[in-house]
A and B are shown apart, each in its own frame.
Chain A
Amino acid sequence: MPAHDVLIIGAGLAGQRAALAAAQEGASVAIMSKVHPVRSHSVAAAGGINAAINVTDDWRSHAYDTVKGSDFLGDQDAIEIMCSEAPAEVMHLEHLGVTFHRNERGELDLRAFGGASMKRTAYVADITGQAILHVLYEQLMKHHETVESYEEWFVTSLIQDEEGRCTGAIARDVRTGAIEVFDAKNVILACGGAGQAYKPTTNGLIVTGDGIALAYRIGAPLMDMEMVQYHPTCLVESGILITEGARGEGAHLLNKDGERFMEKSAPNKMELASRDVVSRAEQIEINEGRGVGPRGEGIYLDVTVVPRKRTLEALREIVNLGRDFAGVDITREPITIRPGQHYIMGGVKTDVDGRTPIEGLYAAGEVACVSVHGGNRLGANSLLDTLIFGRRAGEHAARRASTMAMPSAGRARAARDEAMLAGILGREHGGRRVSEIKDELGRTMNEQVAVFRDESGLREALATVTRLREESDSAWVDDRGTVFNQDVLGAMELGFMLDCAEAIVLGAIERKESRGAQYRTDFPERNDEEWLKHIDISRDGDGEPRIGYSPVTITQWQPEERKY
């Protein structure tokens, strides 16, 4: 049976960074992903990575912007760590080979991004996530002797010992269908968000909340799950993302009257206010009949005001996306966009070293909630989050491993998961298809747990999620094989997404105020007195979800009114 000091589940930026850091500390490391590492959804991060590297900048300014962007729900100790360690991390990436674009002096160039008080976003054209992910994978290839890589392995459950510690994971080899027990002194979850619980979403088809649900199922608390980010610029039909870098380079948002409507809600920052503010402003224009397009459900993003040469050099990917997925040449005409589900600020609750309250279980990246994003994440802070806390989790887990003996769960532990998968394969063709349930879940979440929310809509959503969960118990699959049986894994992913949706809706019902991405039309004001706190949701095994609270850590910035 494979056994490792540190087992990392997920091979996007957080996972790869954790693996390299843990290996550097001398631990025996394995990194496991249900897809090849470079297919991880970090690849889609476009705009850049924030760091106060300009000599006139200060990490405290970055931290304040992040705190304000979070609508004061972010934990300031964690934000201070992220922002103060950011410059060194970006330089580390540069030294590893990331091809960051340069200014005329040959130094790292910086672009403007939403919610930031100065230009502090380092970038590689508009493929920054891809460039960093591929460069980290280069490093994994370089260090193949110290980091074991399990590519295309699907984790079915986490292992706990009798004291409740996490001591490994059960996984299925996608290529062969074999189930294996992986013992580990520490497990780091780094498998991303849960965007596929929404439809449409900017997130890839693989982003199904696996890690959040795996942790939830063994009793780890989830925090701030109601905080779901809608990105202001997504293609109307497909939900495909148009990077915030477009607005960073100067693009305008226009309603059907050609008005730059951001003047009304963010007269100073205009299009570069934080994402929750811009998405709400757009949704108001659409709801009040000033949207564009045949159904008035879009907004114009006008990139033609950016010099064409600059667009081709720095926004080349969205030139292609506009051409290929909307039939629009963005250098010559505006493109129609609208807010779309993009990111989940909430996740598995961790401390600043990635530790969850379950001993031996760590989380980093979108799967985790440290919390550095609070109620709303700033653009170009997600890559930073994955790298800083991926590294810190990797280092901490490696050090912890050096003090303990290797656990052994025994081969028999796999039987439960084998039986569960056999159970799915054996279901009669009678109920609904997995794909139908997933579709209904996504549409429900996007209608009722979106930019604007209210009690009755959320209650309906909860009832739907509960019903879909019952239906999912009898959802059947066609594929009865073992090799690349994506059908049966899809049924498991549906279960993960339903768990995440349950926590998201419960959190949204619980938080009776408007803060960051949570806007309740029935409670339209922020209420610091009662709700300046995190909402924690946890359950044991198959038990009922319980709601708890934890305080927000405030170090130097007291909550104040948020204006852009």
Chain B
Amino acid sequence: MAQMADVHRPPESFKLRLRRYDPESGDAPYWDEHTVALEPHRSVLEAILQARDKSDGSIAIRCSCRQAICGSCGVRINGEPGLACHTHLEDARAGAGADGAIEVEPMGNMPVIKDLIVDMDAVHWKKVRRVTPWLLPSEPAPEREYIVSKESMVDVTQTMACIQCGACVSDCLAMEVDPGFIGPAALAKAYRFVGDPRDQQQRERLLDLAQDPQGIYDCTHCFKCVEACPKDVNPMGQIMRLRRIAGTDQRIVDRNNGERHEAALTTLVRDFGLLHEAELPPRSYGGNSWFGKFHPAAAKELVSLLPTAAKAIGRRKIGVKQALFGHKLAKQDLDAVKRIYEKVESRPERYELNLYVSGVDEEVEPATAAASSEEVAS
């Protein structure tokens, strides 16, 4: 029977260090410390609200549901994005600096309005609006429901579960470099339509997102959004699925050549066990053949890459021999890599990692782990 281990633990003292900013004061942002007494399994949000209720009513934070469903209280806690209501005080303290103070700041990549409140509309919602965020079904609608598979609806429920909190946007590294990047939340929203069999504009949506230089190929696979998401939406995974559908299924060639680049990388790893850097540009343009090297665009790309290659060699990031002939792996290692490819490619259907479909992490089959390692490699 259930143990009530986490209930009725005595309150403990927690030190909060809040990033404050008052736009009316003319002062720069500053740190403001409060000490609260709460049970350790209470949330960071409850601690902030206690500080607000008991000592300073001017602390500003958006919040409502207290149960990680309304998406209001996205913040950075000890430098990591997440929901204040969804982070236990004891966990936050474990991740705090030397003095044990839990640091709470506004999210990144969005302008701060006041204290912990950022302008979601200026960034997050603008990007959501960019992806035509509504269903475009066949018309006229049937008298009753559209008949679609059980699995397809469970599948898109993973992206439907996004609460628009902005945690993934906050720490998206690609967006930090390129603020125009459509970004993880909006692209996950796009998958919600591309993956919905009722939508009739799948190809148009993918063309749009693939050909936009700030679209699906602008993601750099840093996994920050996957870690940040409090709802297991796996935004990067959804972006990769958009790429697979665009490239493999729809054969969409994007302006940045992202799809072929990805395919080249995948086949190179299959053939060499590791990335063969010198082969990447020609294969990206010419496809998976020796003649690809003579593709005019490849030659141009190769020449333009020479300074980069020279720099890499100069800094000893790569040897001349390696650059020209690729890495040599022991045969058994190379065979092991090949076996992963065979296993993944022999599946009748592509296996997509979706927690609503596959359950929880520990239950994921080894084959799925292999499928996701492909994402890691690319």
Q: Which residues of A contact B (CB under 8 A)?
A: 35-36, 38-41, 43-44, 53, 91, 94-97, 99-109, 124-125, 127, 130-131, 134-135, 138-139, 141-142, 151, 175, 204-207, 236-238, 240-241, 292-295, 300, 308-309, 312-313, 316-317, 320-321, 324-328, 333-336, 433-436, 439, 477-487, 490
Using A327-B6, A483-B113 as known contacts, list a sample of 18 further A-B pairs with CB atoms less than 8 Å apart, ordered by residue number in A.
Answer: A38-B164, A102-B152, A124-B157, A125-B154, A130-B69, A138-B134, A138-B135, A206-B64, A240-B67, A292-B2, A293-B4, A295-B8, A312-B355, A325-B67, A433-B54, A483-B24, A484-B115, A487-B57
Contact assessment for A99 and B156 in the assembled complex, using a CB-CB cutoff below 8 Å: yes
A sample of 29 inter-chain contacts (CB < 8 A) reads A36-B120, A39-B71, A39-B72, A41-B64, A41-B70, A43-B65, A43-B163, A95-B141, A96-B135, A102-B153, A103-B150, A106-B147, A106-B150, A107-B147, A125-B157, A125-B161, A130-B160, A138-B134, A138-B135, A139-B134, A141-B133, A142-B134, A316-B355, A324-B68, A327-B41, A435-B54, A478-B58, A480-B58, A481-B58
B254 → chain A, closest Cβ, in Å?
26
Contact assessment for B67 and A309 in the assembled complex, using a CB-CB cutoff below 8 Å: no
Contacts of B54 in A (CB 8 A): 433, 435
Q: Which residue of B lies closest to A324 (CB)?
A: B86
Contact assessment for A479 and B147 in the assembled complex, using a CB-CB cutoff below 8 Å: no
Contact assessment for A124 and B86 in the assembled complex, using a CB-CB cutoff below 8 Å: no
Q: Which residue of B lies closest to A127 (CB)?
A: B161
Contact assessment for A134 and B5 in the assembled complex, using a CB-CB cutoff below 8 Å: no
B374 → chain A, closest Cβ, in Å?
25
Q: Which residue of A lies closest to B132 (CB)?
A: A142
Contacts of A204 in B (CB 8 A): 64-66, 70
Contact assessment for B2 and A109 in the assembled complex, using a CB-CB cutoff below 8 Å: no
User: In the docked arrangement, what's the CA distance between A426 and B36, Å?
Assistant: 28
Contacts of B68 in A (CB 8 A): 320-321, 324
Q: Which residues of B contact A (CB under 8 A)?
A: 1-8, 22-24, 41, 52-54, 56-58, 60, 62-72, 86, 88, 113-115, 117, 120-121, 128-129, 133-135, 137, 141, 143-150, 152-154, 156-157, 160-161, 163-164, 192-193, 196, 198, 231, 355-357, 359-360
User: In the docked arrangement, what's the CA distance between A131 and B134, Å?
Assistant: 13
Contact assessment for B137 and A97 in the assembled complex, using a CB-CB cutoff below 8 Å: yes
Contact assessment for A293 and B147 in the assembled complex, using a CB-CB cutoff below 8 Å: no
A116 → chain B, closest Cβ, in Å?
20
9 smallest CB-CB distances across A and B, nearest first, come from: A97-B135, A435-B53, A479-B58, A478-B57, A204-B64, A327-B6, A487-B57, A106-B147, A138-B134
Q: Which residue of B lies closest to A240 (CB)?
A: B67
Contact assessment for B2 and A175 in the assembled complex, using a CB-CB cutoff below 8 Å: no
A88 → chain B, closest Cβ, in Å?
10
User: In the docked arrangement, what's the CA distance between A337 and B117, Å?
Assistant: 34
Contact assessment for B70 and A44 in the assembled complex, using a CB-CB cutoff below 8 Å: yes
User: In the docked arrangement, what's the CA distance between A236 and B157, Å?
Assistant: 29
Contact assessment for A326 and B150 in the assembled complex, using a CB-CB cutoff below 8 Å: no
Given the contacts A44-B70, A482-B24, A99 and B157 also touching, CB distance less than 8 Å: yes
Contact assessment for B144 and A91 in the assembled complex, using a CB-CB cutoff below 8 Å: yes
Contact assessment for B149 and A106 in the assembled complex, using a CB-CB cutoff below 8 Å: yes
Contacts of A108 in B (CB 8 A): 145
Contacts of A138 in B (CB 8 A): 133-135
Contact assessment for A335 and B2 in the assembled complex, using a CB-CB cutoff below 8 Å: yes
Contact assessment for B163 and A130 in the assembled complex, using a CB-CB cutoff below 8 Å: yes
User: In the docked arrangement, what's the CA distance between A405 and B359, Å?
Assistant: 58
Contact assessment for A41 and B65 in the assembled complex, using a CB-CB cutoff below 8 Å: yes
Contact assessment for B129 and A141 in the assembled complex, using a CB-CB cutoff below 8 Å: yes
Contact of A205 among B6, B66, B86, B198 (CB under 8 A): B66
